[in-house]
Amino acid sequence: MLTFTAHRKAEVLSHDEAADGVIFVKDGFSWPAFLVPFVWLIWHRLWRALGGYILAVAGLAGVGYLAGLPEGLGTSLGLLLNLYMGLEGNNLRRKALARRGYQEVADIVAGDGEEAAWRFLANRMQHQVG
């Protein structure tokens, strides 16, 4: 089972309690952020993190070229950068959502994102009825 956090815009919280406009972010390692960080950052519109990633890649390439590092070492440093993205990618998403005015409204344990949405909605409906 995975843990997800549900994020929702602050002004929507008081008006609509359905799952519309809720973003679910998985807790833990992100394989897409590790394997294709550039595409993953663009997909999630993490522009600040994308800028930092580009600067880090350019810095590693520049330092590697100027210092005359072997290609294997440069590749290893790039792999470490991707590992960082895999480990911290979802936390970067949470921080970006907070900057955009989203609040964390729930922690959900589910098998996947779709199940997390169903559990979130079922919990909201239960609280409205009861």
Q: What is the DSSP string of 47-108?
A: HHHHHHHHHHHHHHHHHHHHHT--HHHHHHHHHHHHHHHHHHHHHHHHHHHHHTTEEEEEEE
Based on the structure, what is the number of domains in the chain? 1
Q: What is the pLDDT of residues 72-81, one digit of tens each?
A: 888 899 999 9
pTM of this prediction exceeds 0.85: no
Q: Which residues contact 44 (CB under 8 A, 6 or more apart)?
A: 93, 96
Rounded distance, CA 71 to CA 68, Å? 9
Tens digits of per-residue pLDDT, 35-66? 999 999 999 999 999 999 999 999 988 888 88
> Which amino acid type is present at position 129?
V
**Structural domain boundaries enclosing 115:** 2-129
35 sits in which H/E element: helix 31-35
Element (H, E) at 32: helix 31-35
